[in-house]
């Protein structure tokens, strides 16, 4: 019943115009070594002033729920899941309304049913009523057929509609939004973060994360998040995690994966983390 309700909320009838726009200023960003995803249609064209939106299926929601349930940095919710993440701590007087990051991602080799990704996320609430949005890059053959594309993205709450908007590419193109009505507890977030995770549901060797290298202060061959910024209810401006006392790093098995925060690395990189590792016999 819950899934059917969500489908009705998501799959609205097609519309010709947008009544509300996200209340933010489009900002330019530097190109990365990774290519920008192509957004558009190869064959069919939409009527003038309309955009293509694939209807969400029940299976899409089931898959999305399974993925988002595995991103909690302090709990093991999926067998064989491992994390190397950097996040902003929860504070009583601060709610987070946005997060940004530029991914330098790789194409790690994974076996069937395994997953390896780089992601940024927002979440709110206790474990029993946790609401989470996860966006990023992943290799997950079971679901995506081995899709290994790299993406730049950001997501935040619109001050007027309270929807979470997803943007991508050099021009911060609007991809769409997660309707506020989908969530019971995510008008703002009590935690935002960046990093990587893997899932190995069987007893096989866990897959690599990122490039397969541990963080070693060399962003040329290690997976990274740079230009990390976040937004809070205290200000409309996006800021970097300059106050280390407000941050936390978490890696559940440092023999297999790790994450390091390098602070501000100049105008090109901004606030940066490196993360990843070779995997191996990492346990459940």
Asked if residues 86 and 251 have their Cβ atoms less than 8 Å apart, the reply is no
Top-confidence residue, 156 or 276: 276
pLDDT at residue 127 is higher than 80: no
pLDDT, position 268: 94
Average pLDDT, integer, range 225-245: 92
Q: Please name the helix (run of DSSP H) or strand (run of DSSP E) that holds residue 235, with its range, or none.
A: strand 235-239
Query: Residue 102: beta bridge partners?
Result: 226
Over the stretch 60-79, which tens digit does the pLDDT of each residue have?
A: 665 555 555 554 554 445 67
Q: CA torsion sign, 8 to 147 to 43 to 29? A: positive
Token duo for residue 247: 């941050």
pLDDT for 232 beyond 50: yes
pLDDT exceeds cutoff 80 at 235? yes
Question: Exposed, middle or buried: residue 275 (CB in 10 Å: 0-12, 13-18, 19+)?
Answer: buried
Does pTM surpass 0.85? no
Confidence of residue 17 (pLDDT cuts 50, 70, 90): very low
| CA 195 remoteness from chain centre | 9
Q: Which of 179-183, 201-205, 258-262 has the highest mean pLDDT?
A: 258-262
Query: How far apart, in whole angstroms, are the C-alpha atoms of residue 3 and residue 5?
Result: 5
């Amino acid at each position: 019943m819950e899934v059917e309700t969500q489908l009705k909320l998501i799959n609205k009838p097609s519309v010709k115009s947008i009544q509300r726009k996200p209340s933010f200023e489009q900002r330019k960003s530097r190109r990365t070594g990774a290519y920008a995803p192509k957004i558009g249609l190869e064959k069919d064209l939409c009527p003038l002033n309309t955009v293509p939106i694939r209807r969400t299926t029940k299976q899409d929601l089931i898959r999305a729920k399974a993925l988002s349930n595995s991103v909690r940095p302090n709990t093991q919710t999926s067998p064989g899941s491992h994390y190397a993440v950097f996040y902003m701590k929860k504070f009583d007087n601060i709610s987070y309304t946005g997060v940004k990051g530029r991914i330098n991602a790789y194409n790690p080799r994974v076996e069937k049913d395994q997953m390896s990704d780089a992601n940024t996320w927002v979440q709110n609430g206790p474990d029993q009523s946790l609401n989470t949005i996860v966006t990023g890059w992943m290799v997950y053959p079971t679901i995506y057929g081995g899709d290994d594309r790299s993406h730049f993205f950001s997501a935040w709450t619109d001050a007027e509609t309270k929807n979470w908007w997803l943007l991508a590419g050099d021009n911060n193109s609007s991809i769409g939004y997660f309707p506020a009505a989908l969530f019971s507890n995510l008008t703002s977030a009590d935690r935002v973060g960046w990093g990587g995770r893997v899932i190995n549901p069987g007893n096989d060797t866990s897959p690599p994360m990122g490039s397969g290298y541990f963080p070693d202060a060399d962003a040329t061959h290690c997976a990274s998040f740079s230009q990390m910024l976040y937004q809070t209810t205290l200000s409309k401006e996006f800021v970097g995690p300059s106050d280390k006392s407000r941050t936390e790093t978490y890696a559940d098995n440092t023999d297999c994966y790790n994450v390091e925060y390098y602070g501000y690395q100049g105008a090109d990189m901004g606030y940066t983390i490196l993360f990843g590792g070779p995997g191996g016999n990492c346990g459940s």
